[in-house]
Amino acid sequence: MKDFIVLFPETFLWFNESEGLFYNSNAKKFFTFSCNELIHNYCLLFNDPANLYSVAIDHSDKQDALFSSWLDSIVKYKIGAIYSIENEEKKPFSLPPILNLRDEIEEAQLDKNKYYSSINIAEFLNEMSFFLSGGGLPDEEREYYKQIIYPYSEESFLELGVIHSFLEKSNTTHLRQVNLICSDQLIYPNIRDLIGLFVTHGIYVTCYMPGRYTDAFLQIIDILQSTNFTLKLYFITIGDFTKIQDYIKDYSIQYNWVFLIKNENDFLLCEKIIKDHNLTKSDILPVLTSRNFDFFEENIFISRDNIENLSLTKQNVFCNQSINSNYWGHLFILPDGNVYGNLNKKPLGSMREDAMELIKREINDPESSWKCTREKVTPCKDCIFRNLCPPPSNYEFYLNRFNLCTIKCMT
C-alpha cells in the first residue's frame, strides 16, 4: 500500500525556497505555507508535468512536523487529497492547470511573418485612444496622460485626414472601442466630421473632456445627442459640475464623471458628490504628483487583503500569466501622429504606417508592454502572489518601479 498526494485540477501552485501558495480557482481562495527543503522538493515534483500533479508520499517524511502539517492543510482546504493505492500502475493523477497555447504558436516560432499575417494580427486590435489635443495644460498635469487617459498638452491638433487615412489602410475588423481625448478648450476643427467618421465605422466611442460648462461643452452635447457615444467628464469645480448636471439631464446622453484623486481631501469631496447626487458610474482615478507619493503608498498600494478579494477564475489566472490586460490590444496615438503600445515607452512608429505592422512590432518586442506580466519584472517574478496580483500598470511604468504593494515576500 502506497500513499499519493494529488492536487485537484483547479489548484494552482507557486513557490520559492522559503514559502509557497496554493490557489483554489473554484473556491477562489488561497492559503500560504512556509517551505523547508522537504516541502520545496515535493513542490518541484508537483510542478513536473510528467507527474500529473500526483506525488508518492515517503512515510518517513511524515516525521517532519512542518511537512505533516502541510499535508493536513492540503486536505483541509480542499487543495488536494491523499489516496492509498496497492497497485502503483493505477496511481491517481490530475491535470495541472497549465495554459495550452495553440499549435500555431509553434509555427510562429518558425515563420513569424507567415503566422502574423494582417488577418491574424487584426484580432489583436480592440481599442484605440486618439489624443486630439488643441491646448496646453498646467505643468503638474502634463504627464497625467502617462498614468491615466487624460488630455495631452499640445497646441496643435491630430488632423482628421490623418485619422481617416490611418483607419482606411488598417484592418479594423475587430476594433470595438475608440477613445477621443480632448484638451481644455474643445476647438478641434471638424469635430462633427470626426465623430461622423466613427459612426460610419460602427465603432463604440467614448469622448473624454474637462467638465467645464462652456460653449465647447454645449457644442459637444449638441453633436453627441444624435449618437450612442459615451461622454466622460473630468471633474473640475463644484460650480461647473452643478451646471452640467442640471443641463445634461434633458438629453439622452450616456455620460459619467471622472474624479482625479491626489490626496485625502480630493477623495472625501469625490465621495460626498457621488453620494449626494447618486452617481452610479463614476470613475475614481488616483494620479501621482511630485508631492503625494506617501498618500499613494498609504491608500493605493495593493495589499494582501486586496488580492484576497479579487476572486479570480482559472481563466483570469491564465490571462495574468500570458498577457498584460492593461495594454493588450490597445494603441495610443498622440497629436504628432506617433503610435504607442504604452505611453511610458518609445513609440512603435507613426500613423503613416499600417496599424498591423505596428502591432507586429509590439508583439515581437522582447520588452513588449502587451506581454509584460509579473513573471517578467523584478521583484514580482520571485513573489508567490505574482499571478494573482493585477498586471503591471501605468503607474509602475511611469515610476519604473514594479512593486507598488505592501506584500513582503520571502525569497
Q: How far apart are CA 3 and CA 54, in angstroms?
A: 10
Q: In residues, how long is the chain?
A: 411
> What is the pLDDT at residue 40?
98
Q: How many CB atoms lie within 10 A of CB 87?
A: 8
H helices, E strands: number in the chain: 15, 15
Cell of 143: 504627464
The answer to whether 197 and 164 have CB atoms below 8 angstroms apart is: yes
Q: How far apart are CA 16 and CA 199, in angstroms?
A: 52
Mention every residue, 6+ apart, whose C-beta is less than 8 A from residue 185. 134, 135, 214, 216
> What is the pLDDT at residue 193?
87
Residue 409's Cα: distance from chain center in Å? 22
Q: How far apart are CA 235 and CA 382, in angstroms?
A: 40
> What is the pLDDT at residue 130?
96
Cell of 388: 494573482
The answer to whether 289 and 140 have CB atoms below 8 angstroms apart is: yes
> What is the pLDDT at residue 408?
79
Which DSSP state fits 139? G
Amino acid letter, residue 400: N
Q: How far apart are CA 6 and CA 80, in angstroms?
A: 5
> What is the pLDDT at residue 111?
53
CA distance readout (Å), 254 to 225, 232, 239, 283: 9, 9, 21, 14
Say if residue 36 is exposed, middle or buried (CB neighbours under 10 Å; 0-12, 13-18, 19+).
Answer: middle
10-residue mean pLDDT profile of the chain (411 residues): values are 94 96 96 97 96 95 96 96 87 88 46 54 92 86 96 89 92 91 72 84 88 85 85 96 93 93 96 95 95 92 92 95 96 96 98 94 95 96 95 96 85 56
Mention every residue, 6+ apart, whose C-beta is less than 8 A from residue 71. 5, 57, 62, 82
Cell of 176: 470595438
Q: How far apart are CA 188 and CA 22, in angstroms?
A: 53
The answer to whether 335 and 132 have CB atoms below 8 angstroms apart is: yes
> What is the pLDDT at residue 104?
41
